[in-house]
Structure 1
Amino acid sequence: MIGIELPTLNTNDSSYTLVEWLVSDGSRIKGEQPLAVVETSKASEEIESTGPGILHVLVDSGQDCTPGQVIAYLFESAEERDSYRTTSVTPAAQPPSSEAELNITKAARALADRHGLSDAELRALGRTVIRTADVEGLVRRAAPAPAAPERQLSKRQRAVGAVVTESMRTVPAAAAYAKVDAGPAEEVARRLSERTGSFVSLPVLLVKAVARRLAAHPLMFAALTDEGAVREAERAHVGVTMDAGRGLYTPVVHDAAQLDSDRIADLLTGFRSKAFRGTFQAAELTGANIMVAPHTTEGLILATPIVFPGQTCVVSVGAVDDQVVLDAAGTPRARRFVHLGLVYDHRVVNGGDAMAFLRDLKEELEAPAKLG
């Protein structure tokens, strides 16, 4: 008998939803193949079998499950499965007792306490596991009709809110900004786009520039440990914030320093498409040790994003701002500028380190020959 254990798919979630089984209970599995689809707050992921056997399902479709939970067994034969089913006695379902301990998620408990719901009211729902949606439904039924319609936040947006709240609670952040002449980088991006056919942009070159600074600025890519030390990264895995109107995603360009800028551009183009459709795989959203946050909407020149828990800093870039400046001879010239922002965990990074990192990024973008 082999247990199919649910892996950790998203470090920001404490539970997932088992959406569906791709094979039926009792089916013979011939080898490694997709068994079930599990949904996190960010993506859907297929869970594969670890080998051949007879499938015995432990968690039904639509149920919540947690990382490390065994959701099914694989038996060598139908006889072994039948023997297990005979000896594994499942007690008959009993109606919820007033003395029984409630199985309720932390978010659902917090919501119930906020609305003054009693345990008796929660037990009356008759749910095996009481989730936020169950409590929200109970609140709606108990409350008088609102004066104006309410809009419930999506599961994805609630997950974003949880990350933001944790960041604001745990990360003592500071910020710094640098003004960068964007003209040279824009020209390099234009030439690369024409030569490769990829959509190379200023954020693409910024991802490359950030990744190239790992050796010079290792603290920017480090993770603070519980022991008051930092764990430095061996490679630069750069996350990029994206919002295509269906929630915030943070896909990751893994080992970005080893990729050409046109390859990074192709990855970001694909990520934008997946952000619009909501079709990311879990592996595409995990592993970042630094974040780049483009805020390139016209007219938005400055942004101060959050530092994601488990990381040390995030680099933002605003939209290009056209300005008239005087050249060395005093002649007015049109120039194009962007502002880079750096938000950093002050427990790990000090102001001098932050200024040096921003200075290096500024120099790389203003002389971008090595970013091509």
Structure 2
Amino acid sequence: MAKCIPSARCWRKSSDWPQAGHLIQESFEEASAMSVESVAARAQSNVNTGSGEAAAPAFGAHLPPWPQVDFAEFGEVEVKPVSRIQKLTGAFLSRNWLTIPHVTHHDDADITSLESYRKARNDANPAVKLTPLVFLIKAVVRALQEFPQFNASLDGDGKNIVLKKYFHIGVAVDTRFGLLVPVLRDCDRKSVEELSVELAAISQKAREKGLSMAEMSGGCFSISSLGGFGGTGFTPIVNAPEVAILGVTKTRLAAAPADDGGVSWRKMLPLSLSYDHRVINGADAARFAAFIGTVLADPQTLAG
């Protein structure tokens, strides 16, 4: 799951996913002359042909053909076809990984105060459960306001950088269909309670029914949380045309010097910030991650 971050933005009905009709608008399907298979095949052929013959390489990447191995020669195997959704997702992931010069910056955020504040808010209002993720969304918005180059996209020919004045955040949701990325709009105008209710509703819909194109489009920045699974860091793939993505993993306890000379145990949240090096440099990435840590340490300012 370390490299399966937001990818597909167009979907088509498929026999292996009856609910996939929820993921496409009729106008989009009518406007598109290419099927899922043709999109995936074209992107994949830029990497390899799968037949042992070298294909025309994508973007100047001269790659060798994919190894052709008879795995049954070494032991018992089971062959399962790749689903249409996997083909499409793989095509966009391959494109993003090959064309974007990725760098991933790692840092830690002290969320000790945040966790105490969050639990107190939940105890006071059990009707709305506040998760760390909604505070992270608000922190990301603050960081995007402070560092506008992260709320940007390169245009089609790469000659201009488009700076966005809105703050729509995509959040990766693990579903039985695969990874879906609903977009929460105007996060700068919403409270953590509003975001919590909206995120819970859209996540449930994603898991049960799937999402429409409209619900997965227009994102400025994406967040992928593996905190429920574990890990200490990973390398999320930037979701083009966005220029950065933030991954977080499981909170851990870390010892820090206390004022009385003893040891204070702090709750630390690992941050993994992948970015497009054509738009963002390393110093700005370090500042961006550090800024997120600073605002997370003062949760009251994020709660509005």
Give, in angstroms, the shift of residue 294 of structure 1.
0.8
In structure 2, the residue matched to 1:354 is 285
Q: Secondary structure at the match of 2:166?
A: coil
Structure 1: where are the runs of 5+ without partners? 1-9, 20-36, 49-63, 70-103, 117-145
Deviation string, structure 1 residues 114-166 (Cα, Å, up to 9, x no partner):
448xxxxxxxxxxxxxxxxxxxxxxxxxxxxx953211222222222122111
Question: TM-score, normalised to structure 1's length?
Answer: 0.64
Q: Does 1:161 align with 2:90?
A: yes
Which one-letter code corresponds to 1:67 in the other structure? A
> How many Å separate the matches in 2 of 1:261 and 1:211?
12
In structure 2, the residue matched to 1:210 is 140
In structure 2, the residue matched to 1:101 is none
Q: Secondary structure at the match of 1:308?
A: coil
Deviation string, structure 1 residues 259-279 (Cα, Å, up to 9, x no partner):
100111112212321232142
Residues 41-56 of structure 1: matches in 2 within 5 Å?
43-45=22-24, 47=26
Give, in angstroms, the shift of residue 179 of structure 1.
1.4
Residues 238-257 of structure 1: matches in 2 within 5 Å?
238-257=169-188
> How many Å separate the matches in 2 of 1:18 and 1:155?
7
- Relative distance call for 1:18 and 1:174 in structure 2 (3 A) is closer
Q: Does 1:200 align with 2:179?
A: no
Give, in angstroms, the shift of residue 38 of structure 1.
10
Q: Does 1:67 align with 2:22?
A: no
Q: Secondary structure at the match of 2:195?
A: helix
> How many Å separate the matches in 1 of 2:203 and 2:95?
26
- Relative distance call for 1:302 and 1:114 in structure 2 (3 A) is closer
User: 1:105 is matched with which residue: 23, 38, 58?
Assistant: 38
> How many Å separate the matches in 2 of 1:257 and 1:178?
24
Higher strand residue share = 1
Give, in angstroms, the shift of residue 313 of structure 1.
0.3
In structure 2, the residue matched to 1:86 is none
In structure 2, the residue matched to 1:175 is 104
In structure 2, the residue matched to 1:336 is 267
- Relative distance call for 1:113 and 1:304 in structure 2 (3 A) is closer
Q: Does 1:185 align with 2:136?
A: no
Deviation string, structure 1 residues 161-194 (Cα, Å, up to 9, x no partner):
1221111111001121221111111122223333
- Relative distance call for 1:175 and 1:278 in structure 2 (3 A) is same
Q: Secondary structure at the match of 1:296?
A: coil
Cα pair 2:8 2:88 within 8 Å, conserved: no
> How many Å separate the matches in 1 of 2:104 and 2:41?
35
Give, in angstroms, the shift of residue 320 of structure 1.
0.8
Higher helix residue share = 2
Give, in angstroms, the shift of residue 347 of structure 1.
0.3
Residues 1-372 of structure 1: matches in 2 within 5 Å?
12-13=9-10, 16-17=12-13, 39=20, 43-45=22-24, 47=26, 66-67=30-31, 105=38, 107=40, 114-115=50-51, 148-196=77-125, 197-225=127-155, 226-372=157-303
Higher mean displacement: 359-368 or 192-201: 192-201
> How many Å separate the matches in 2 of 1:344 and 1:208?
19
Structure 2: where are the runs of 5+ without partners? 1-6, 53-74
> How many Å separate the matches in 2 of 1:165 and 1:243?
20
> How many Å separate the matches in 1 of 2:29 and 2:128?
41
**Matched residues, percent identical?**
23
Which one-letter code corresponds to 1:251 in the other structure? P
Cα pair 1:295 1:319 within 8 Å, conserved: yes
> How many Å separate the matches in 2 of 1:312 and 1:331?
42
Give, in angstroms, the shift of residue 106 of structure 1.
5.4
In structure 2, the residue matched to 1:83 is none
Give, in angstroms, the shift of residue 107 of structure 1.
4.2
